[in-house]
Amino acid sequence: MKKVCSISVLCMFLSIISCRKNDCVEYNGYPLEVGKIIINKCATAGCHTDKSKEAAAGLSLESWTSLFQGSRNGNTAVIPFRADLSFLMYFSNTYNDLGITNVPVMPPNQNPLSRGEVTTLRDWINAGAAARSGLLPFADIQERKRLFVVNQGCDNVYVVDAASGVIMRCINIGSNPNSIESPHFLDVSHDDKYFFVCYYNGNMLQKFRTSDGAFVGQANIGSGAWNTFAVTPNDSLAFVVDWAADGKVAVVDLNNMQLLVTYQGSGLLQYPHGSAWKNNWLYVTAQSGNFIYKINVTDIYNPEFFQLPLQPGETPSTIPKYDPHQIHFSPDGSEYNVSCQRSNEVRFFNTANDSLIAVVPVGKYPQHPHYSSSTDYLFVTCMEDDITYPGKIGSVSVINYKTHTFVKSIYTGCEPHGNMVDDDNKRVYILNRNINPLGPPPHHSSACGGKNGYMTAIDMNTLNLVPGYKPEMSTDPYYFGMIGHHH
């Protein structure tokens, strides 16, 4: 049997157009046994080749290199070391005991892959999906600027290349393998060496290395709906917030991963949610009501609590009104803003005296406001906005934070929640949860059940979506961390 090796460097060099499959021993970078399967059965004329990939989801399997460029919209067919999350497996596997099966079965109009062939692909991916030379995909991963995405419905973190937006790795997290703990918030240490995760349905604050995703340690902070945390600039402490009617804040020593003290008591913290740290002050939003907490933590064991009304002259109350969700400080620290999910606005305050600067209306149910340090823009995800774009759910509001004026709305996808401003690459990455039944159907199944969410990106130069970019994450992608960026 003969096959065409139209792009093989070896075959071109020898001016051979057609060759027996054992002659083209390199298989365009694939290991021999893997190459026999992919080149002979997948990268065939009319299917996943460089020439015909646009009719095959934009995915070329013609070479090991093209495989890791992904498919249309930036979807990653193979996540190294994770056959269970690689859709190349889903569409080529017909054996239920070997993992997820999807339709249409590949290769089309031919016999399905044999059990031995599926096992070969699975084992290769789980071993890292290396090239025949032994080179691992994204071998320079530690040199790349990386995004870390928590998937709330799957207890994992996707590691994404910030420059290209390609998923490079997936890290399992959580302390209980028998239940979904719902990772809710992630932040990267100021020295970029670690990332931390808290859980909505768990009792741990966990610490991982950013270099390889290795688990470092965890602090048992007790039961709670742990929503957010603030890390001090020297990476020594984290203040972790439990969102409850009678909530609390756990103070954790990040060097030793030990709980130091917990702020709690009847009526002390009511529905605390968002958090930020500045100059020995911990700011915490009271998500039901009209105020935020400002806590002096110069002495962490003897904190002083204050309540700051969001509207001057009002008496702090937990009666739903503004319902502040999250708080962020400007790049120069001179101001901070609070997203108010009930009143659909962002309120700006002077850091020096906590005076109200401006109130800017935004889309419905604003969640996370993130500043750009290279432009004058603040980007706010409005997760449940069903007004701005009729028939769709969600929008991102853009504010000029120097003039405190609304600039525009952008539709980024279904239920946008987490966002991350990458000033180096002039992109704003958006996590679209896509849990609403009205959201778009996923490209492929999820290993955790439910429906995959997806990521899109805003071009900061044009304030429009980056065309053709929509990689799927896992179930309910919720929040970001990034090398070189700290909340």
CA-to-CA dists, residue 111 to 11, 41, 87, 108, 279, angstroms: 28, 10, 19, 8, 66
Burial string for 69-91 (b: 16+ CB within 10 Å, else e) reads: bbbbbbbbbbbbbbbbbbbbbbb
Torsion 409-413-414-416 (CA) sign: negative
Q: What pLDDT was estimated at residue 17?
A: 36
Q: What pLDDT was estimated at residue 53?
A: 57
Tens digit of each residue's pLDDT (9 = 90 or more) over 418-472? 999 999 999 999 999 999 998 999 887 777 888 999 999 999 999 999 999 999 9
Cα–Cα distance for residue pair 487/480, rounded to 1 Å: 10
Q: 4: pLDDT confidence band, cut at 50, 70 and 90? A: very low
Percent above pLDDT 70 for the chain: 91
Contact 78, 65 (CB under 8 A): no
* Residue 227: alpha-carbon gap to chain centroid: 16
Q: What is the residue-wise DSSP string for 51-83?
A: TTGGGTTT---SSHHHHTT-STBT--S-BTTBG
Domain range list for the chain? 32-126, 144-482
Tens digit of each residue's pLDDT (9 = 90 or more) over 96-108? 888 887 777 777 7
Rounded to the nearest integer, the mean pLDDT of the chain is 90
Tens digit of each residue's pLDDT (9 = 90 or more) over 172-213? 999 998 999 999 999 999 999 999 999 999 999 999 999 999
Q: What pLDDT was estimated at residue 445?
A: 78
Q: What pLDDT was estimated at residue 199?
A: 98
Topology classification of domain 144-482: Methylamine Dehydrogenase; Chain H (2.130.10)
Q: What pLDDT was estimated at residue 54?
A: 59
Q: What pLDDT was estimated at residue 126?
A: 97
End-to-end CA distance of the chain: 59
